[in-house]
Amino acid sequence: MAHEQSQQHPIAIYLWIWGLLFVLSVFSYLVDYLGFEGHLKWSLITLFMLLKAGLIVSVFMHMAWERMAIMCAILVPPGVLLVLMGLMALEANHTLVTRLAFFFN
């Protein structure tokens, strides 16, 4: 356990991120409250979600200050989940079309 450095950062950065997370949460709640629809709604929800996730992982979980080796080991593998999501979206659409074709005509 020779070369360990501890994660010490000024308190201001945590308070700033905390505040930003509050503001972003208000924004994502407003998307629902104001009743946006369609692509505008989905893209805003996704944008605020990714910004919040990024702030939590990089600052609160200290990933921004870690070495590239652990960043890549942890953050790259979840990328394959996008492939799973894409495949299952295709599959689900196919199921829907089949159901509509066989049960609703």
Partner 1 sequence: MAPGIKGLVSDWSSDQRAFKNVPWGKAMMWIFLLSDTFIFACFLVGYMTVRISTTDTWPDASEVFALNVAGESVPLLLIAIMTFILISSSGTMALAVKFGYEKNRKATAILLVLTALLGASFVGMQAFEWSKLIGEGVRPWGNPWGAAQFGASFFLITGFHGTHVSIGVIFLIIMATKVIRGALDDQRPGFLTGRKGRYEMVETLGLYWHFVDLVWVFIFAFFYLW
Among 40, 42, 43, 64, binds partner 1 (CB under 8 A): 42
Give the Cα separation of 93 and 98 in Å (integer): 9
Give the Cα separation of 105 and 33 in Å (integer): 38
Element (H, E) at 64: none
CB of 94 to partner 1, least distance (A): 8
Give the Cα separation of 90 and 68 in Å (integer): 34
Among 38, 67, 79, 105, binds partner 1 (CB under 8 A): 67
Four-residue CA torsion sign, 54, 60, 66, 71: negative
- Rule CB under 8 A: which residues touch partner 1? 1, 3-9, 11, 14-15, 17-18, 21-22, 25, 28-29, 31-33, 41-42, 45-46, 48-49, 52-53, 56-57, 59-62, 66-70, 72-74, 77-78, 81, 84-85, 88-89, 91-93, 95-96, 99-100, 103-104
